[in-house]
Structure formats: structure tokens, C-alpha cells
Structure 1
Amino acid sequence: MTTTAHEAPPRPRRLDDVPGWFPVLDQVLFDWLLDRQEAAGVRGDLLEVGVYMGKSAIFLGRRLQHGERYTVCDLFEGDAPDDANRAESTKSYSALTRQAFETNYLSFHDELPRILQGPSSMVPSEVEPGSCRFVHIDGSHLYEHVYDDIGAARDVLLPDGIVVLDDFRSEHTPGVSVAVWEAVLTRGLRPICLSTQKLYGTWGDPGPVQEELLAMVRGRDDCALSVQHAAGHRLVRLKSRGMKAPGFPLSRHADEPEPELAVAERPEKAAAPEATRPARHRHRRSRTRRLAVDLLPPVLTRAIVNARAARR
């Protein structure tokens, strides 16, 4: 379904209706890690850098505990800080507006998070050091920006807080890969696990959370697991095997009628007689044709085809 410039896009009824990239495996890991923090009595703020249309932000906002603060940061339709970032935003995020994000978020929540509209360089001055328990970085893919975003995450996280870094191994985001593995090798970041899209890490001790994660995953049959060691780090790799998304409440628009889909113009009967025949007859005829091609001599097959064409 397409919309015109004067027509608002349909409001989401389910989380899956919100455009964006948030695989089921990562939804499961977000849920499990946040559950673990809350069960341990860990308290702290939440931060997401780069929200696009709000899919992961909506998911993360549901885990806000009383007294905690949730901050999101994005350029939206604002000016990028440099030419490279401007080109990136124009190419990949031209449809993103703050209004679209807010509409989607408020479809599932009563209040908006605290919104920083501007480059992620705002974060260090706007988010208190050592205040966050969970940070999701999914902003610019340019090395310089990712490098700074990782540094900001380190500064705002609690000692055992968790940072999630998106697109760390996509072929179109080499700047993210360089910045992430550089942080692992030289800046003290310690991986907890790797999904197909994100690296989960901490500047604390990853051992306890890894042990609990391994026990959880080994008890499931819908998640592939491999463990490797490199440069003194234990790398826990996970991949979905038909995982189902964690339950998520429907939006406040769930009871509204589904939008009508545009119906393609029906062709005239004479223009496509094959399409008007019952499916079982079409299938039987196509099987007959295949058998003729496979079993009859080519000369006889061509004669049959020519005879049929002459009768049309």
C-alpha cells in the first residue's frame, strides 16, 4: 500500500508493522539480558543512539523501570554534522522524520522517551556518566562516528552495563566493523555474545553473564551455538533456528479495521482465458504438457503444439 504526500502512513497495530531491522534473535537477547539485570536488582537508565522508525526503541522502552530514564538520540530530519554523514542520511534514512518516530512510539506507550534530536556527539553532554545499564548503538555507520559512539557508551555505562553494537559485520558497514573490533582489541570492550547482526559487550566481567547465557541457549533447540577463542576473548556466536519473537503487546490501534489494500484492475476474460480456469484443471493440463515434452519424440511434440495453436 502506498501513501500520498497528503496521506498519513497507517499506524502500527503490531511491533512487526513498524519498519526497521530488529531480528527475532536480538529481541530474545534484549529480553533475556534485561530480565537478568532486573532480577539481579540492577538499576540504571536506558539509551539508544539511532532509532529509525522506532522498532527497537519501542521494544526497549517497555523495559523501563520506575525511576529510570530512557533517552534516544537521532538526527531525524535535522542537519548532519559533516558531508559524509549527510550523504549517508540522504541515502539510507530519507523517509525518517521525528513525527514518524513519535507516532509509532506513542502507538505502544503513553509517553515519549527523552529525545535528543541531533548528532550523537550530543550524548556525552546530555547523559550523565555512569548512569546507564543498557545502551544500544545503531546510528551512523561511519568509522569516526562509531568510534565516538563507543567511547560515549563506555562513559555513560555502569561498570557492568551492557552495550549493543549494530551492524558490526555487515558487508556495507566496514567502518562499524573496524571501530567495534578496535574497541575489543585496544579499548577494553569485552564481548558477551555475537548475533547475526549485533555484538553485545561490556567493560565489566563478561564471564558470569556468558555462563548463564550458555546454559540458557543449550536448553533450547531453536538457537545454534558456537564458541570460539581469539585474542584472549571467548566469542559466543548465536544464530536463530526458527526462533519465535517474545510476546509483545498490541498497539492501541490494534482494534482499528485493517486498511483497505488497492485491488489491481481485473483483466478481461478474453485477455487471459487460462487464468479463469479452475486451478485443478490448469494443473492437470500443465502436467500433461510436461509429460508430452518428456516422453514424446520432438517431432510429434511440435506437431501437437502447432495443432493446439491453430485451434486458438
Structure 2
Amino acid sequence: MTVAPGMTRPPRELADVPGWFPVLDQMLFTWFLDRQEARETRGDLLEVGVYMGRSAILLGHHRQEGEQYTVCDLFEGDAPDDANRAEANKSYSRLTRQIFEENYLSFHDELPRVLQGPSSILPDEVEPRSCRFVHIDGSHLYEHVYGDIGAAHDVLLPEGIVVLDDFRSEHTPGVSMAAWEAVLNRGLRPICLSTQKLYGTWDDPEPVQEELLAMLRERDDCHLSVQQAAGRRIIRLKSKGMSAPPFPHSRHYEEIPDPAPEPAPGPAPTPAPRPAPTSPRPRPRRSRARRLAVDLLPPVVTRAIRRARAGGHPRGA
């Protein structure tokens, strides 16, 4: 595939897809989903808010035979209210459904089920108790996040996992309020906290927490702390030079070669030797006697002698 001038280069690696999906969360998504699959847990996948598709591409890689993967986003569509419209214009003005779909199809053979619209449509579009994993990364406004958490509660299967993005970012207080309200008043049980996301369940978190702690204690690339808050065990994680988990290359990986590296500078050419300067031919020195003779002769004779030496002839009268 050739990239035309002015065209965006198709992604070759997951990291080439624009977005906010730190390697710590890539590792945790992979671990939770692999754990479910190892336990033969079946269920659909749901993501609310996809941006350019980085986390969606990873989630789609874990869709098993017979499962459905649904994504929901406004894309370039109309927001349901003025506050949501202002948020979309400020943070997601470059997002279009076409860009998301092109990025996703760089890694997968087919698209997920795409719902274009506000997340309030989810109760009518996703079956109750049908999902094993839900990622909420849509609006940052309290009212919308409150509704998204309620929708996640209704669609999750027993032992299902919900992930809330931006639960503690300084610019998203609405997410923080909705997330901790769900913990304190709506039965959500935290499993762990990454730098950016809260992982939780509405079931007993202890079994998955014990397995998670055992895995983390074998790693040396993750800061780990365990705290108690309001009677709940909180596992806090922070990357310590962590590398992203292995992930398949996109289908563009071999089609678009990397730009040829600039040739290494060779040794400077040796300058050609400059010719040695030639000395001017020395003028023949006249003897002192001849100089005296010329000086003492009459001027007419002296001029005749000089013309004769130069090979000239006397001018005619």
C-alpha cells in the first residue's frame, strides 16, 4: 500500500493509533480478559466511547467465537445536550466514524457492532446480563457517567468486570463523583486502581484480587500498594518502566516499509595536494661595468643600445 502525499500513515502497531491507553492499562485489560477466557467465561464485550480505536482494537482481539462486541460513540453526530456538545467540540473535534473504522480494520477482518449516538441508547440496544467486560470512556459529565455506570450494572454477567476511565483526572470531577458514588452507594466493588482507570465488579472482588496480587508480585515493572478505604481493599498500581504486552501487527506492517535511513556520513574526501608555488624567473643581472657604460654614454647611444637588445628597430623620421 502506498501512502499518497498529505495522507495519514496507516497504523502498523497499536501504539500508532492516537489515543490515551497507557501500557499499564493494556497489561491489565489483557490480564483480566485472558483470565476470563482461561476460566471459560463467556459473554459479550462493550465499550462506551472509542475515540480513534486504540482500546477497541485490543478488546476486539479478545472477542471469542459466538460473542458480540459493541461500541457506542457520538463520533461526529449530534450531542444530546449543550454541555455534551461543548465537551465533544473541545476534546474530540477530530473524531469521525470513518477514522475509527479504518483504524480498527487495520487490525481486524470485520468491524464490531457500531452504535452511533449517545450512551443513553444502550438499555435498548444491549441485552441485560449479556456482557463479561465493559469499558466506560465516554462523556466526562456526571449525569452521563452516572447513567453509563447504571447501564454497565444492568448488562454485566455475574463476575463481570467494569472499567471506568478518568476516575481521578483533575479535569474530570464529574467522573470522580459518579465513580465513588457508585462505590459508596450503588454496590460497585473496586478491584484495583491504575493511574487512569478504576477496575470493579458488583460481585465479590476477593478471588480476582488474590490472583491479581500473585501476578503483580512476580513483576518488577509495577509499583504496588494495598490500602483500606471505607471497609474496602484498594489495590493501587503504577507503571515502573513497563513495556506494552505483545500484540499482533496491523495488516499494513509489511505493506508500508519504514522510510530508508539516511546514509551514514563517510569520511571527508582528502583534498588534492596543492601545487607548490613556482618562483618567478630571476631577471638576469647585468654586470656593474655594463651598467656604468650605459649610464655614461650619451642618451642617443643608450636608447639605440636598448632597442637593439629588445630586437626592435629605429623608427623612421
**What do the CA deviations read for 1:208-237 (whole angstroms, capped 9, x no partner)?**
000000111011111110011011110000
- Equivalences for residues 83-162 of structure 1 within 5 A: 83-162=82-161
Change (3 A) 1:78 1:7: farther
Counterpart AA for 1:64: R
CA distance in 2: counterparts of 1:89 and 1:258, whole angstroms: 35
Alpha-carbon offset, residue 257 of structure 1: 3.0
Match of 1:204 in 2: 203
1:259 Cα offset (Å) = 7.2
Cα distance between partner residues in 1 of 2:75 and 2:6: 20
Q: Which residue of 2 aligns with 1:49?
A: 48
TM-score (norm 1): 0.81
Whether contact under 8 Å (1:49, 1:74) holds in the other structure is: yes
In the TM superposition, what are the counterparts of 1:148-227 in structure 2 within 5 Å? 148-227=147-226
Root mean square deviation, CA, Å: 1.8
Deviations 1:85-107 (A, max 9, x none): 00000000000000000000000
Shift of 1:256: 2.7
Secondary structure, aligned partner of 1:160: strand
CA separation in 1, counterparts of 2:119 and 2:165?
15
Are 1:10 and 1:259, in contact at CA under 8 Å, matched by a contact in 2? no
Given the two structures, how large is their TM-score scaled by the length of structure 2?
0.80
What corresponds to 1:298 in structure 2? none
Give the SS at the match of 1:125: helix
Cα distance in 2 between the residues matched to 1:258 and 1:52 = 27
What SS class does the counterpart of residue 161 from structure 1 fall into? strand
Counterpart amino acid of residue 134 in structure 1: F
Name the residue aligned to 1:244: 243
CA drift of 1:7 comes to 4.4
Unaligned runs of 5+ in 2: 261-267, 269-317
Over residues 160-201 of structure 1, what are the superposed CA-to-partner deviations in whole Å (9 max), with x where a residue is unaligned?
100000000000000000000000000000000000000000
Distance 1:255 1:131 in 2: 38
Distance 2:194 2:25 in 1: 7
Q: In the TM superposition, what whole-angstrom CA distance separates every residue of 1:6-57 from its partner, at most 9, and x where no partner exists?
A: 9442211111110001000001101111111111110000000000000000
Instruction: Give the distance between the partners of 1:100 and 1:7, measured in 2 at CA.
Output: 15
Following the alignment from structure 2 to structure 1, what is the Cα–Cα distance between the partners of residues 30 and 16? 19
* Contact map agreement 1:28 1:245 (CA 8 A) in 2: yes
Which residue of 1 is the match for residue 73 of structure 2? Answer: 74
Q: What is the distance in 1 between the residues matched to 2:29 and 2:47?
A: 13
Query: Bigger CA drift: 140-149 or 247-256?
Result: 247-256
Q: Report the CA distance between 1:258 and its aligned residue.
A: 4.8
2: CA distance, partners of 1:185 / 1:232:
10
Aligned length: 260
d(CA) in 2 for partners of 1:51 and 1:24?
17
Write the distance in 1 (CA, Å) between the matches of 2:258 and 2:127: 43
Larger helix percent: 1
Residues in 2 aligned to 1:88 and 1:11: alpha-carbon distance in whole angstroms: 27
Which is greater in Rg?
2
**Structure 1 unmatched ranges of 5 or more:** 262-277, 279-312
State the alpha-carbon separation in 2 of the partners of residues 104 and 126 from structure 1.
24
